[in-house]
Amino acid sequence: MTPTTTDSVTPLSTSEQQRKAKRATAVAAFGTLIEYYDFSVYGYVAATLAVVFFPSDDPMIGLLNTLLVFGSAFAVRPLGALCFGWLGDRVGRRASLMASIGLMSVAAALTGMLPGYAQIGVAAPILLVVFRMLQGFSSGGEIGGAVSYIREWAEPHRRPLYISLVPSLGVLGKGAAAGIAALSASFLPSEAMEAWGWRIPFLLAVPLGILCLYMRLSIEDSPEYTASKADNTTTTRPFKLLLAHHRAPLAKVVVIAVVQNTGVYLGTVFVAVYFSNILGFSKGQAATIVLLAVVAAAMFIPAAGLLGCRVGAKKLLTISYIVYAVVTIPSFLLMGQHSVTLAVIGLVIGMVPYALCSAGTLTMLPEMFPVQVRHTGVAFGHSVGAVLGGGLSPFVATWLIDVTGNNLAPAYILTGSGILGIAIVLGAVRNTTTDAHLYR
């Protein structure tokens, strides 16, 4: 990988760079919205899927089985991260982003067309697992590709803001999924919802996927990646290079991602099941509460990105972990007061540390790796963290509630994650290059 001349890469003017950076950010972040709509729909209709695919005399057993399928998507995320990470580091960020959204949309559409247990018996839950794992495989590459791509376009002092649009639009994708689920549950009787209504959110993946593919066809690879390719400094084995020379940053990324994903999946997906199956709200009320909260989070996250531009990613993460440790239990106590209004207020309060953590985490991760292994490093580290934090936490929270009878179990998990995050970020993470302008 001997460097050669970079004359073939034409430098961009400042105004052209800024224009292309904004367009790249918009397209990458909008694709994440669609990707996370497709991925999150399952969680918002989990209570219905439990009846359709896992009929049981004990509703809790059916729900636990459904959440295990939800978690199965996380088991293959690291494999997807390696595949799409290799594609992004070897072939190009654009190619990886297009492939990930295509696979996600196909898997969601197939899920929406799947017959239930009453029609094809045990084959139904088996195929549900297969399609869910395809979604997990796809999602393994999306975040790493999107934040690496935006990081390589944006000016250093603007990166926290630009990158914050990825989780902001991602949570809007979850909000769209919650909204469709709320509308379906509100306007359809339970029998219709179980018969065919649950399919509607999944089948919307088809037009959304086509739209996103069209948009991603219009973008180009980042100047930093293009220069690396022109210099012949890309690698055909990014994962091998990652393990050989970047093990310490990778370990830090995994732990930081565990904390973030615990907050993501307990705070924005599991809570829909928590409200309906644990706290006794109707499915329509539960989806509406989550929708209002995630819309609030989508506005909080860019504000957190702006704060990151001022204080840096490390301080932003530290603040988020402290807020998690302080406000989570009070927010869950509000949710448990059997009032829709108080439940909305409680969940919106819980979105504050979630927003701070999402912006800080995704800004910091791509700064920990050089361009040659950036996509693989971020995607793989974040996916392993998602397996441990996102894949297990909804099941563990449900199990703890069932065993202990304590509805605050999810709050204890989130509070513990915040305390772990404080220890990690203060003890093992240095200020990143994104923060450099703060310390000149």
- Which CATH number belongs to the domain containing residue 113 in this structure? 1.20.1250.20
At 3, the pLDDT band (50, 70, 90 cuts) reads: very low
Domain contains 1: no
Sequence-distant (≥ 6) Cβ neighbours of residue 143 within 8 angstroms: 32, 166, 170, 362, 378, 379, 382
b/e sequence 107-129, b meaning 16+ C-beta within 10 Å = bbbbbbebebbeeeeeebbebbe
Average pLDDT for 322-332: 95
pLDDT of res. 350: 94
| Helix-helix angle 340-364:159-187, to 10 degrees | 150
Does residue 240 have a pLDDT over 50?
Answer: yes
Q: Which of 29-38, 185-194, 330-339 has the lowest mean pLDDT?
A: 185-194
Kindly report the average pLDDT of the chain as a whole number.
Answer: 86
The answer to whether residue 438 scores a pLDDT higher than 60 is no
Please report which confidence band the pLDDT of residue 34 belongs to, taking 50, 70 and 90 as the band edges: confident
**Which residues 6+ apart lie within 8 Å of 368 measured at CB?**
246, 249, 252, 253, 377, 378, 432
pLDDT value at residue 181: 78
pLDDT for 284 beyond 60: yes
Count CB-CB contacts under 10 A for residue 352.
19
Query: Is the pLDDT score of 9 beyond 60?
Result: no
Residue at token pair 């066809």: 217
Q: What is the pLDDT of residue 436?
A: 60
Q: Residue 394 above 90 pLDDT? A: no
Look at residue 9 and tell me if it is in a domain. no
Assigned domain for 420 exists: yes
- Residue 58: per-residue pLDDT: 65
Structure token pair of residue 380: 């793989």
Q: Does residue 10 have a pLDDT over 80?
A: no
Question: Range of 189's domain?
Answer: 14-438
Instruction: Provide the number of structural domains found in the chain.
Output: 1
**What is the reported pLDDT for 7?**
40
318, part of any domain: yes
Decide if pLDDT at 433 tops 80: no
Q: Residue 170's pLDDT band (boundaries 50, 70, 90)?
A: confident
| Widest pairwise Cα distance in the chain | 69
Q: What is the mean pLDDT of residues 366-380?
A: 94
- Answer whether residue 7 is part of any domain: no
352 inside domain: yes
Cα–Cα nearest to 387, from 95, 52, 80, 54? 80
Percent share of the chain, pLDDT over 90? 39
Report phi then psi at 210, rounded to 5.
-65, -40
Is residue 367 exposed (0-12), middle (13-18) or buried (19+ Cβ within 10 Å)?
buried
Burial of 355 (0-12, 13-18, 19+ CB in 10 A): buried
Distance CA(38)–CA(271), nearest Å, equals 18
Q: State mean pLDDT over 401-429.
A: 88
Q: Select the more confidently predicted residue: 141 or 63.
A: 141
How much is the average pLDDT of 206-233? Answer: 87
Exposed, middle or buried, 393 (CB in 10 Å: 0-12/13-18/19+)?
buried
Question: Would 4 be classed as within a structural domain?
Answer: no
Structure tokens at 219: 């973008």
Cα 36 to Cα 94, 243, 293, 346, 412: the distances in Å are: 18, 29, 16, 24, 26
Tell me, yes or no, whether 48 lies in a domain.
yes
**Which of 8-17, 172-181, 368-377, 381-390 has the largest mean confidence?**
368-377
